[in-house]
A and B are shown apart, each in its own frame.
Chain A
Amino acid sequence: MTAYILAKFARAAATLLIAVSLVFIFIRFSGDPAAALAPPDAPQEVIDQYAEAMGLDKPLWQQYASYIGGLLQGDFGYSIHTGKPALELFLERLPSTLRLGSTALLIALAVGIPLGSFAALNRGTKVDRFAMAFSVFAFAMPNFLFGLCVILGGALLFQTYFGGTDASVLPAALTLGLAAMGSFARFTRSSLLETINAPFMRAAEARGVPYMRRLVAHAAPNAAIPLVTLIGLSLGALIAGSVVTEQVFGWPGVGQLLVRSVATRDIATVQFIVLAIAFTMVLANLLVDMLYLVIDPRIRTR
């Protein structure tokens, strides 16, 4: 078990280090970073100042070392447009993104898992076919189209605009959560079906354990194990989806900041957001791995 924990932490650290290094390499070789970071139309002296400040005249490994050192000290660079630290810009936006993302995740879980379970338990029926059709629909539906439809529907049916800063979080969260909802439903269904047909379920039946108890005490815990992985993975899909969804609904979150910063080439801000996302994902995967220790005795007592 100790070996498992150590291995997972080592892997997370390595992944993070590689991601950081890649970001460095890209920034360093994307042309003249000084020119990119300096204000537009800046005279040559200003660009040189930038280059010196960034240590561009030093050998590469020193630049790398000071880059890493800077990150560790919390120096993530300044936005070239607002002049504020990238971290500050990010933190301003974070609460609304978290609100949107967590609502979307909750909606997806609350609909997807019951739907998938119901489909698995009523396999081959209309409910099952509906759930499967829904999951394909949710997978194929681009969230910008669905978002626009939601806005259009709100305007036509309720005469309200579902976007902007002070709008309700629900329409946007529904849009963001749709894809995850579909994949939760599909995955819950297949995981539960597999468990229901496992030999130990038949054995429990032969021992006289009643149906509901078999489901609750044996099928559910076993089916939940792979589901935990999926929920961890779906975080990536939610982050990716929030980039587009926030744009569609004019939601003032990190995703919107990312798109705006990319369009205006605000490299420091983009870099920080990318690193933050990488860190979040690595942390989430690590959490999932640790959660396994709790829910799967085969790992705990290896």
Chain B
Amino acid sequence: MPGEPAVLSIENLSVALPEGGDREFAVRGITLDVKPGETVCLVGESGSGKTVAAQSTIGMLPKALPVVAGRVCFESKSLPPQRSKAFDSLRGIKMAMIFQDAVASLDPVQRIGRQLEEILAVHGVDRRSRKKRVLDSLETARLPDPPRIYRSYPHQLSGGQAQRVVIAGSLLLNPRLLIADEPTTALDVTTQAEILDLLKDLKRERKASVLFITHDFGVVAEIADRIAVMKEGEIVETGSADAVLGAPEHPYTRRLLAAARKRDPAREASPAKRVLEVRNLSLDYKIGRLLSKKHIHAVKGVSLQLEEGRTLAIVGESGSGKSSLARCILRLVDASAGTIRFKGDDITEEKGSKLRALRKRIQFVQQDPYSAINPRQTVLSAIAEGPIIHDATKRDAEARATELLEVTGLSVNAGSRYPHEFSGGQLQRICIARALALEPELLVADEPVSALDVSIQAQILDLFRSLQSKFGFAMVFITHDLRVAQSISDDILVMKDGEVVESGAAAKVFSAPSHPYTKALLAAAPDIALRRRAAA
């Protein structure tokens, strides 16, 4: 489409950060065109300035972030740099935006129908035709039973449905530009795949341009025509999707892509001693109070086993019961039925001091590293706490902790600092060090990399692998991300609605999945598109 004027062009735009930020500019001298009918992906890790770029195109920059140079043009006309009435005639009609958290972007006390009709009302659409247009739009967004959705409140919708509603709203007036800010990040893989499909189809049918903001190269490969990679406020590389994905030029792009594609060849299975054996484990929760008690079956009759030095990945979407299973194995919650054997001993019913002694041998790494360390504790005392609880002298414990700081790739002088002084990746290293300070025989890691940026993810996964070969612990690795599971596991167990739907050696499950759900998961993973592109 060369020669055709761009719908949106960002010209040499710089936006300042307030004093005291970690850099001077939120975005610095970025230039980017979005042509008619084109999807441009703006890719970057958190804090790269990609959201600021999006906000400046729709006139929603916070006051604290002024435009200091450059401009944004829409349909060849320059847009005001700050919030302005001029945008009232653009937003909703000519450009629309969808957000990461769709439920939160809907007014909680108004019905969906009323909120969508409002868009038509404020842009002067005749009252009588509004309802029909909204219902049509909901239909277009492939929502089941549009009249019901029309009457619903936002909290009655699932995340995926809410995102469809927001998309339906954004398409009501056929805007020329759709700005999508991480619209699938909060969703499960299968829902994500559906939303991406919907966006692709809509783009094709409506010929709208899309500015798509994401951190996930898998999603990029799925949807992008062109790609702009951002790092610390600057665009480091732009080009067609094929060019950037096929032959990335900038080292940063290459690093991000490598992190997204990373996987090991399947490791040799060797006969070894059994560390963990779970039989028919179930977990029921009672929720609600006296008058409205409900039973939730989080885990239903799960069995698994794990041998020394090996890694079992438990894969499933949110609500599949994988974290509940982890908590049972860790004996943080009591199973409702079934047995857990650890090194041959039945530990299902261990209590009191026996249980506390057992904890030394089974350790835990959690998803959110920011909350996993007591904010009032220095890093060294956090790592040393485990050995101290289990009767090591303070000196020995601290010596061990210092050693672990080094092993996990942190500097020794980090020990005297407090958690808030570290980044997420560093904190996760500290948590791993704390778990390993007890020399556990089994490590249970619950989504340990899903709160981290992709390039950091790769580093932490590497750390897990090298520590495992160094210390020889067995590992249960919980994740929703097939890419991560594939890169770290020997065996894999796929869960859905509290049940195991498939299990086996990782290589076998990935190459020849037998259960339809596993197949769906694999097909939905945006990573597959990435691989397809790479192969082409």
Contact = CB atoms under 8 A, between A and B. Distances in A.
Is there direct touching of A and B in the complex, by C-beta distance under 8 Å? yes
Contacts of B119: 207-209
A200 interface: yes
Interface in A157-201: 198-200
A298 B108 contact: yes
B338 to A, nearest CB: 32
Contacts of B241: none
B129 to A, nearest CB: 18
A6 to B, nearest CB: 5
A120 to B, nearest CB: 15
Contact of B99 (A203, A297, A301): A203
B60 interface: yes
A210 B92 CA distance: 11
A204 interface: yes
17 contacts: A3-B292, A7-B289, A199-B101, A200-B104, A206-B58, A207-B119, A207-B122, A208-B88, A208-B92, A208-B122, A209-B122, A210-B88, A218-B107, A222-B107, A297-B111, A298-B155, A301-B155
A225 interface: yes
A297 B153 contact: yes
Nearest to B89: A208
Contacts of B118: 204, 207, 209, 213, 217
Interface in B162-207: 166, 169-170
Interface string A126-156: 0000000000000000000000000000000
A199 B122 contact: no
B99 A199 contact: yes
Contacts of B96: 206-207
B109 A225 contact: yes
Interface in A260-296: 295-296
B109 A202 contact: no
A204 B118 CA distance: 9
A205 interface: yes
Interface in B79-134: 87-93, 96-97, 99, 101, 104-111, 118-119, 122-123
A202 B89 CA distance: 16
Contacts of B88: 208, 210
B272 interface: no
Contacts, number: 87
Contacts of B156: 301
Interface residues of B, number: 36
Interface string B293-332: 0000000000000000000000000000000000000000
A39 interface: no
Given A207-B91, A208-B90, A209-B119, A199 B105 contact: yes
A221 interface: yes
Nearest to B83: A205
Nearest to A213: B122
Contacts of A295: 109
Contact of A221 (B58, B92, B109): B109
Given A206-B91, A207-B96, A7 B60 contact: no
Contacts of B97: 203, 206
Closest A-B pairs by Cβ, 10 of them: A208-B92, A203-B105, A208-B91, A3-B292, A206-B97, A199-B104, A297-B153, A207-B92, A3-B291, A200-B107
A10 B111 CA distance: 31
B290 interface: yes
A101 to B, nearest CB: 30
Nearest to A222: B109
A64 B110 CA distance: 50
Given A199-B105, A202-B105, 4 more contacts: A202-B60, A207-B92, A213-B118, A217-B110
A296 B154 CA distance: 12
A207 to B, nearest CB: 5
A111 B279 CA distance: 66
B213 to A, nearest CB: 14
Given A7-B289, A301-B153, A206 B60 contact: yes
Contacts of B107: 200, 204, 218, 222
B196 to A, nearest CB: 20
A217 B122 CA distance: 12
A184 B108 CA distance: 23
Given A202-B105, A208-B92, A298-B153, A7 B123 contact: no
A262 B153 CA distance: 52
Nearest to B289: A7
Given A210-B88, A298-B108, A6 B291 contact: yes
Contacts of B106: 200, 203
Contacts of B153: 297-298, 301
Contacts of B289: 7
B3 to A, nearest CB: 31
A7 B291 contact: yes
Contacts of A209: 92, 118-119, 122
A6 B290 CA distance: 10
Which residue, A207, A225, A296, has most C-beta atoms of chain B within 10 A? A207
A208 to B, nearest CB: 3
Contacts of B110: 217-218, 221
A6 B292 CA distance: 10
Contacts of B105: 199-200, 202-203
Interface in B357-372: none
Interface string B52-79: 0000001010000000000000000000
B163 to A, nearest CB: 12
B91 A296 contact: no
A205 B91 contact: yes
B150 to A, nearest CB: 14
A208 B93 contact: yes
B91 A198 contact: no
Contacts of A218: 107, 110
Interface string B133-162: 000000000000000000001011000000
A116 B288 CA distance: 36
Contacts of B123: 208
Contacts of A296: 109
A297 B109 contact: yes
Given A222-B108, A295-B109, A203 B93 contact: no
B6 to A, nearest CB: 21
A200 B118 CA distance: 14
Contacts of A199: 99, 101, 104-105
A26 to B, nearest CB: 29
A209 B107 CA distance: 13
Contacts of A208: 87-93, 119, 122-123
A298 B152 CA distance: 11
Contact of A205 (B60, B166, B290): B60
A110 to B, nearest CB: 24
B104 A198 contact: yes
Nearest to A208: B92
Which residue, A6, A209, A296, has most C-beta atoms of chain B within 10 A? A209
A200 B101 CA distance: 10
Nearest to B292: A3
A124 to B, nearest CB: 10
A297 B157 CA distance: 13
Nearest to A6: B291
B65 to A, nearest CB: 14
Contacts of A10: 291
Interface in A1-38: 3, 6-7, 10
Contacts of A297: 108-109, 111, 153, 155
A3 B106 CA distance: 27
